[in-house]
Structure formats: structure tokens, C-alpha cells
Amino acid sequence: MSSPHPSGTMKRMNIRISGLGGQGAVTAAHLLAMAANAMGKFSISNPFFGAEKRMAPAESYVRVGPDKIYDRGELVFPEVILIFHPQVITMQKSYTAPFYSGIKKGGLVIINTDVDLLSEEDHQRLEEDEVSVYNIDATTLALEIGGTELSTNMAMIGACAGITKVVDMEALDKALKERFGKKYVASGGTATLDEAIKKKYAKKEQLLQKNLDTMQRAYDISSEWAESATYAAATY
């Protein structure tokens, strides 16, 4: 299959993330954009959701490119789609029907699942558009490495980066620390208070490391898949 972009050039990459409220789809988009920004690329991210509630459809979008990005809002024609929850597909919890509506030729779909969720027709239509599909059991990875299914978004980010190489792990690590790792400022605290803060911070450090490990593992296994797959990432 030919690459959607001439090799070596960096083109705009549009990523659409479809998940359910509470899964961290918005945070995932922000992290990817922050990582791209840290690498000196242009990036923006934004969410799209209704009145907030858990398990309701929630989408977010990341745009990364070599020039200033003005494009805003819902991403109708993405190159990459990340599906954070099987219900996006099985229960049609998405803003577009089918969930891959608008995907560009030669695109990529990454789905958090351990079984094939696509119908015969889905497979056929995606094949016609030369779209690659990668299933990854992100929730199990999150439970095993992160210790909580809340790390599912980390695994999905890792898989996205592993295949597309839109950002590297170093930048993701930086973004993760910037977003969650801000140190507590102890203002005129007593020794006890300092101690309490230290403990709390140590816990946070551990949590950050677990999230990073989840991301790294997903990055590694999806990188491996990408080598044998037909998906051709543009050079980013």
C-alpha cells in the first residue's frame, strides 16, 4: 500500500478519539498535543461532548502539523481514529455513524478490544479505503501494568504513538509530568505538613510511573505490529 503522504515529509495529522465519559479521552488528546508541542511541532487539541456524564459519548481531537493550525472543532475527516471503548462500536455511542465515517484513504483505526468488533461490511468498506485496523486490549494492559482501568487512555496514547510515530515516548513522558506531576508548594508548613506532602507526592510519583509504563508497553507492542503491517505512517 502506498503512503498517504510522500515519505519524509511531515503533513497534517488529524486524530479523532471516540470514547465514553470518564475514560479520559479529553485528557488523552491534551497529552498528545502537549507532547507534539514539546517536540516543536504545531498542535492543538479540543474536546467535544454534551452535558457531561459518565459512559455517555465523549470525543476529542488532536491536530498536529508542520505549520500553524487554524482548523477548529469536530474532526470530520480524520487520518487516525482511536476507539477507547467497545460500546462506541457495539452500542453506537459515537457522534458519527458508523464510527469510522469520514476516515481518509490510507488511514488507521485503533480499537480497544480483545475481539473483532467489526462486521463483514465494515471490514470490506475499510479495506476499500485502504484503512488499517489494529485491535489492542488496552483495558487489560491498563489493569495489569497501571493497576487501574483508568490507565486505558495511557495505553491508547502509547499505541497511537507506537504506530504513527506522531510523538515519541520522551515527549509523552514530559507531557505526562507537566499535566499531572506538578509539585506541591508547601507554604510555611510545619515538619508534619511537609511529611504529609512528601508522602502524597511519593504516591503521585508512583502513579505517574505506572501510567508511563502502561504507555510504554502499548507503544512497544504496537510498534512491533506496525513493522509487519501495511499501514504507512508519514514521517513525523
Q: Which of 1, 6, 56, 77 binds another protein (CB under 8 A)?
A: 77
115 interacts with another protein by CB under 8 A: no
Residues 125-144 that bind another protein (CB under 8 A): 125-126, 129
Measured in degrees and rounded to the nearest 5, phi and psi for residue 48 equal -150, 115
On the CB side of 157, CA atoms within 13 Å amount to: 37
- Residue 227 vs residues 26, 134, 165, 189, 200: alpha-carbon distances, Å: 29, 12, 12, 53, 41
- Whichever of 42 and 201 has its CB closer to another protein, that residue is 42
- Whichever of 147 and 181 has its CB closer to another protein, that residue is 181
- Closest approach, Cβ 77 to another protein, in A, equals 6
Residues 6+ apart with CB under 8 A from 190: none
Q: In one letter, which amino acid is 163?
A: I
167 interacts with another protein by CB under 8 A: no
Q: Which of 18, 27, 45, 164 binds another protein (CB under 8 A)?
A: 45
42 interacts with another protein by CB under 8 A: yes
106: left (phi over 0), alpha (psi -120 to 50) or beta: left
Interface positions with another protein (CB under 8 A): 30, 33-34, 37, 42, 44-48, 50-51, 70-77, 96, 98, 100-103, 105, 125-126, 129
